[in-house]
Amino acid sequence: ECPQDDCKRYFKVTPGTGLKGISTCRCPYCGHEGPSKTFFTRAQIDHALSVVKNKVVGAFLKDMKAMEFNHRGGGIGLSMKVHGQPPPIRGYSEQDLETESLCDACSLRYAIYGVFGFCPDCGAHNNLSILDANMRVVAKMLSLAATVDAEVATSLVENALEDCVSAFDGWGRAVCEVFAAKAADPAKAGKISFQNVMRAQEALKIHFGFDADVVLGLEAVAVLHRAFQKRHLLAHRLGVVDDDYLRQTGDPTIRHGCRIGISASEVEATAAGVRAWAEALNAHLGRLP
Walk along the chain (289 residues) and give the pLDDT tens digit of each residue. 999 999 999 999 999 999 998 999 999 998 899 999 999 988 887 888 888 898 998 888 888 888 877 777 666 677 778 788 888 888 777 778 888 999 999 999 999 998 899 999 999 989 999 999 999 999 999 999 999 999 999 999 999 999 999 999 999 999 999 999 999 899 999 899 999 999 999 999 999 999 999 999 999 999 999 999 999 999 999 999 999 999 999 999 999 999 999 999 999 999 999 999 999 999 999 899 8
Q: Listing from the earlier edge strand, what are the strands of the sheet with 109-112?
A: 12-13, 109-112, 99-102
Look at residues 61, 83, 82, 285 and name the one whose alpha carbon lies nearest to residue 192: 285
pTM, two decimals, is: 0.78
Torsion sign over Cα 146, 147, 150, 153: negative
Total domains, the chain:
2
Q: Is 131 found in the same domain as 121?
A: no
Q: Which domain holds residue 11?
A: 1-125
* Angle in degrees, CA 121, 44, 46, rounded to 5: 150
Q: Is 157 found in the same domain as 108?
A: no
Q: Is 134 found in the same domain as 88?
A: no
Choosing from 77, 109, 125, the residue where a domain stops is 125
Choosing from 101, 125, 149, the residue where a domain stops is 125
Q: Is 103 found in the same domain as 148?
A: no
Q: Is 138 found in the same domain as 97?
A: no
Q: Is 139 found in the same domain as 110?
A: no
Task: Name residue 279's amino acid.
Answer: E
Q: Is 172 found in the same domain as 114?
A: no
Q: Is 274 found in the same domain as 133?
A: yes
Choosing from 105, 125, 145, the residue where a domain stops is 125
φ, ψ of residue 85 in degrees (nearest 5): -130, 150
Q: Is 202 found in the same domain as 86?
A: no
Q: Is 146 found in the same domain as 199?
A: yes
Q: Is 91 found in the same domain as 33?
A: yes
Tell me if 36 sits within 8 A of 23, measured CB to CB: yes
